[in-house]
Structure formats: structure tokens, C-alpha cells
Chain A
Amino acid sequence: MTRYTQLLLSGFLLLFLLAGVSLTMGAESLPIKTVLQTLMHGGDQDFIVNYYRLPRILISILVGMGLAISGVLTQGIIRNPLASPDLMGISGGAGLAACTVLLIWPNIGNVWLPPIALLGGFSAALVIWLLNRWHDPSPARLALVGIAISAFLSSCINFLLILHPVEINSAMIWLTGSLWGRNWDYVWPMLPWLTVLVPFSFYLAWSLDLFALGEDTADALGVNTKGLQIAALLSAVALASVSVAVCGTIGFVGLLAPHLARLLVGSRHKLVLPVAALVGALLVLSADTLARNLAPPLELPAGVLTAIIGAPYFLFLLHRYKGY
């Protein structure tokens, strides 16, 4: 058993344990025995365990994976340690689109949110893609472009909220990222996207390793660089937008997970991708578990907790990072 397999296995074990803890804890604390019984046979706590905590845990894991993989792909393709769906305004675009629709038609069904968020995410990605094509900015400048676009998008959102003061809370929760009230109805629309996109990303990871050697080398090794770039970017945007559509713009996961994974297993995408996905899932799951348990029965938005967990750690990474 290599060190890598050990790492993956312990990651899985940790995720499993955390899911177990998350099932037992909340506004209503349940003993493990009751949880197991309810999982098997239903019963009194059927709603809390099977309809409330279980789907939330699943969504946390899926969203965390989606955001982390999206981060690995964007960083790989733009070859920029700062690229991540939330920094480049992709999450912001998806958030703005969904937020606009929610404010104008507050009663729109959940089914419509993923395609709308997808549209917003793709438009933001299109802007980034065009910038990259025309100008090929340096990492720092691309990040600045992202900040400027995000600043603009958040001004737009503020303006919308001032026009519709009654709906501020719902929109704010959406923008911060929260798993409140997310049930099985949100799991099913996500699954087909992820079952296609995740294996596809693993396939792309192999090609990305060649791409990381430089575009010319990749060309020489027979990788279709342009096709690869487009495919990776598209799946990154799709993964991020689907995640945003389900639980809003949860920050820092897409930026942090790839960095942490690289710190653990080096820079080969084939190895980084699974670890990053695990880290992302762990991050979102622990954020949501904390969100439910810090001051029950009050719930906090999970996005605030990913930021509180993520930002200091990111600054710590920054402190150690020497490769400028």
C-alpha cells in the first residue's frame, strides 16, 4: 500500500466518520443506535434523519467535490494558482443570474435554478475566456480582473436588493451559500450532471498533466491543446454552476481544496484531483455540520463558515508559499 492509497483511505474514513457525527448532531441530538435504526427501518425520527440530515450530508459532499474539481481544472488550464470559480466571477455570475430570477419571480421552482445559474456561470466564463484569448494576462492581473468583475456583480446584486427590500434575506442567504432546506429534491437534479462530469474530469486530469509541461510540449506529445482547454473549462464551469445552483456561492472551497491537495501529493493532476475532491467534501460537510450545531436551533449559512475556516488557512498557505 503506497502512501497515496493510505492518504485516500484515511480521507474516506474521515469523511465517513464526519457524516456519522453529522447524522447524530443537531437541534435534536440522537444516539447512534436510534440513527442506525431510523436509517434501516424509519420510525419516529424518520424526517430528521432520512429526509433532513441525510440529503444535506450528501449534498455537502457532492457540492464540495464539484467545487474542488472545478478549482483543480481551472487552475490547471489557466496555469494560475489564483484561478478558482469563485475568484474569477463564475460563481458570482451564476449567483447574480439566480438571484435576479429569485427576486423577480420569487415562486419559481427549484428545477429552473440549475439551468439559470448555468447560464450566468457560462456568461461570466465567456468573458474570462475572451480576456484570456485576447490578452493572456499574468496570474495576478487575471485575479484582479476577477476581483473587478466580482465587485461589479455584487454592486448589481446590491442594487437589485435595494429595489426589492422585502426579499433581502432570502437573496443574502443564497449569496452566502447555505444548505438550509436542501432535501432529496435537490440531490436528484445534481446527480446526472456529476455522474457525467466527475469521470470526465478524471479523464481530463491525465491530459492536464501533459498540458502542465507547457503548451508546445503538450502539442508535441499529441494532446489536442485547444480541445482540452475548452473541454476542461466547460466542465469546470458546469461543475461550479451546478454547485452554486444547489446551495448558493459557497466561497473558498474551489480555491483552497486544490492548494491543500497539491501540498499533500505534489502537482500531478491525476493524483491531485481525487484528494482535492475529498478535501472539498470534508470542508463543506464540516462547515454545514458546524452551521447547524453552533447555536441550535438557530442556523447559520454554511458559506460564512467555509470563509471563516478557509480564509485563515489560505493566509497560512500564503505565508508558506515561496514560488512567486
Chain B
Amino acid sequence: MNILSSARQSKTLTPALLLSTLILGFIISLYGQSEFSLQANDLWQIMIAPDSQDIKQQVILSLRLPRSLVACLIGFNLGVAGLLMQGLTRNPLASPTLFAINSGAACLMALNSIGFAFFSALPSELATFSGALLGGLLVFSLGGGLRSDSNALRLILAGIAVNGLLSSLTRAALIIADDTAYSILHWLSGSFSEIDWHSWSQLWPLSLVALLLAFSTSRGLNLNALGEQTANSLGINITWLRVRVCLAVLLLTSISVTLAGPIVFVGLIAPHLARALFNNNHLVLLPASGLLGAALVCWADLLSRSIIPPAETPVGIITALIGTPFFIFLVLKGKL
């Protein structure tokens, strides 16, 4: 904890370190662990001597670059979404997993893949996106998340019930899918292997809107942290704040899960680290948590390619492996 507290004191060092970790991860993931044995030098070559016929340069430009960009932006989204949820519910363990956003997306995706009823008519991205929204909205509405007198326990219970229902439907679909089961399962563990420029063009406009919405709530969240009554007396419309935060969270997580599958624990870890490193002002915390999430996902993606090459380990498994010890650490330190 010494390192953390001393880091908090230095105002410039921490953000600088954080940024450089992110940039380093970004650059390495552009050329690391490739079948074509790419080197850092190849990146340099692209800048000084672009050649559209060179396969190495093309791999970097049309496969690696969008993948790294998407990984970072999704990490950023998840970090911000996690912080918003925790800020709103004042619950340190709120995350997309809890709100059934991941399992909703997974369930509809799986049903879509096996061609169940009308789901097969939808394009798989749309099915996944609506699944994420459906899961999230179900939990919010059944758990009374939009009401001003909402109760954390009730929200959690609703999350558990919806999660349980959706995930057993997903399993049933997987059993029926049989031969395609392994391709669905790969997606269910979160993976960036199918990312291209098209995904990026789907991701950034929605993310931009959702992030702007998220940053607009930071003042409200700061006051909400003092307690709902205080916030109310200071002229914050709690219900309106809730609606905006929920909308931002749903957008951020749905678009992420649609493109890359459920990447667990990022929305949980990033906000906690951000709080440990910076002060409690949401204006600072939001970008900090986002950057931490981005760095985390970027490095996890890099790791996912290096564990059993040339096969890729799903990135969601890496984040779960990093996340659980961290989680136990939180519990032992009495942060829960």
C-alpha cells in the first residue's frame, strides 16, 4: 500500500506511468506473437516506406491495428461502465456480469446460432446487442434499479435470477448446437480474433456518444457518493441521473460484448485500481478507470496470443485469471 499511497501523492507521475504502460502494450500488441515473425522494425518501415504489396505491413495495418484499437477502446468502455455502476449503486462489486448484460448477450447469441425460432432471422450482431440490452433492462426493472428507493440487495437478487435463467438457456442451446458448440464457446469466453476495421467503425461512434453521456454524469455521481439525500438537497434529480447512467452503462457494455464477447472482471478491477491511485473525484476517476481498463485489456489480449501459440486463449479467461486473485485481495483487505 505504500507504493500506492506515494503514487497518489505525485500528481504527474501516475498518469504518465499509466499512459506509458498503455502505449507500450499497444505497440507491442501491433507486432507481438505473429506467425509472420513481425518486428518492431516493421512498424518503422510502414512509416518510412509504406508498401501495399508487402504482406507484413498489410497484416499490421489491416489486422493488428484495428484489433489493438478495438481492444483498447473496449477496455476503456468497460472501465468507465464499471465505475459508473459502482458509483450509482454505491456497491463496490457491481459489474456487467452482475447485471446479466453478459449472460443476456451470450444467451441470445447462442439461440441465434442454433437458429432458434425467429432469432435466426436477426444478424448475429443485432441479436447479441439486443440480448445485452434485454438482460440489463430485465435486471434493472425487476430489481427496481430505476426507482429512487431501490435497494442494492433487491437488484442483486434480480441479477442472480436473470443470470441463472439466461445461462442455463445458453447451455441448453450449446448442447443442441452440437457441432458448432466449440465455435460458440470460443465467443462465450471473449475473444478479439475476429476484429477488423468494420468492427472499429461500428464501435467508435456509439462509444463516443456513450462516453460523452458518461462524463456528463460525473458531477452528479460525485454528489451521489455523499448519499442520496444529500444529493437530492443539492438539487440533483436522482431519477434523471439514474436514467442517464443506466443508458450509458448499457450502451458501453452492450457494444463491447457484441464485438468481443464477455470480457469479465475488467469493469470490476479498473475502478478499484483507479480509486486506489487517484482521488475520489469522478471527473478524474472516469478517464483514469477507462485508461486502466484499456491497458488491462490490451495486455490481456497480448497474453492471450502468447500462451499456447498459434492457438489463441480467449481473452476473457485471461482477465478472469487476473481478476480473481485481485478480487480475493480486495476481500482480504476488507474493501468489500
A binding-site residues for B, Cβ under 8 Å: 82, 86-87, 131, 134-135, 137, 139-141, 143-145, 147-149, 151-152, 154-156, 158-159, 161-162, 165, 168-169, 172-173, 175-176, 251-252, 300-301, 303-304, 307-308, 310-312, 314-315, 318-319, 321, 324
Q: Is A152 touching B182 in the complex (CB atoms < 8 A)?
A: no
- Known contacts: A172-B174, A172-B175, A318-B154. The answer to whether A307 contacts B320 by CB under 8 A is no
The A/B interface has a contact count, at CB < 8 Å, of 139
- Known contacts: A131-B331, A135-B336. The answer to whether A158 contacts B165 by CB under 8 A is no
Q: Is B168 touching A176 in the complex (CB atoms < 8 A)?
A: yes
B165-198 contacts to A (CB < 8 Å): 165, 167-169, 171-172, 174-175, 178, 181-182, 185-186, 188-189
> What per-residue 1/0 map shows which CB atoms of B33-52 lie under 8 Å from chain A?
00000000000000000000
Partner of B185, one of A148, A168, A176: A168
* Given A147-B98, A154-B167, 8 new contacts (CB under 8 A): A147-B160, A148-B324, A159-B313, A172-B175, A301-B171, A304-B169, A307-B168, A308-B169
Q: Give me 5 A-to-B residue pairs in the complex whose CB atoms sit less than 8 angstroms apart, sorted by A's number.
A: A82-B156, A135-B331, A149-B324, A168-B185, A304-B169
Closest to B334 in A: A135
Give A290 Cβ to nearest chain B Cβ, in Å: 13
Cα–Cα distance between A312 and B169 once the two chains are bound (Å): 13
Cα–Cα distance between A304 and B189 once the two chains are bound (Å): 21
> Interface of chain B, helix or strand or loop or mixed?
helix
Closest to B159 in A: A147
Cα–Cα distance between A115 and B152 once the two chains are bound (Å): 38
Cα–Cα distance between A159 and B314 once the two chains are bound (Å): 8
Q: Is B97 touching A172 in the complex (CB atoms < 8 A)?
A: no
Closest to A300 in B: B172
> Interface of chain A, helix or strand or loop or mixed?
helix
Closest to A178 in B: B175
Closest to B313 in A: A159
Closest to B97 in A: A151
Is B134 part of the contact surface with A, judged by Cβ < 8 Å? no
- Known contacts: A148-B324, A152-B323, A155-B189. The answer to whether A307 contacts B175 by CB under 8 A is no
Interface size for B (C-beta < 8 A) is: 50
CB-CB under 8 A from A307, the residues of chain B are 164-165, 168-169
B binding-site residues for A, Cβ under 8 Å: 91, 93, 97-98, 142-143, 151-154, 156-165, 167-169, 171-172, 174-175, 178, 181-182, 185-186, 188-189, 264-265, 268, 313-314, 316-317, 320-321, 323-324, 327, 331-332, 334, 336
Q: Is A324 touching B154 in the complex (CB atoms < 8 A)?
A: yes
Q: Is A144 touching B168 in the complex (CB atoms < 8 A)?
A: no
CB-CB under 8 A from A303, the residues of chain B are 168, 171
In the complex, the 4 A-B pairs of residues with the closest C-beta atoms, listed nearest first: A311-B165, A307-B168, A155-B320, A144-B93
Cα–Cα distance between A151 and B267 once the two chains are bound (Å): 14
Closest to A323 in B: B153
Q: Is B158 touching A318 in the complex (CB atoms < 8 A)?
A: yes
Cα–Cα distance between A314 and B186 once the two chains are bound (Å): 31
- Known contacts: A148-B327, A155-B316, A307-B165. The answer to whether A169 contacts B157 by CB under 8 A is no
CB-CB under 8 A from B265, the residues of chain A are 151
Partner of A158, one of B172, B314, B334: B314
- Known contacts: A151-B97, A169-B178. The answer to whether A140 contacts B171 by CB under 8 A is no
- Known contacts: A162-B189, A301-B175, A307-B164. The answer to whether A144 contacts B98 by CB under 8 A is yes
Q: Is B171 touching A162 in the complex (CB atoms < 8 A)?
A: no
Q: Is A176 touching B161 in the complex (CB atoms < 8 A)?
A: no
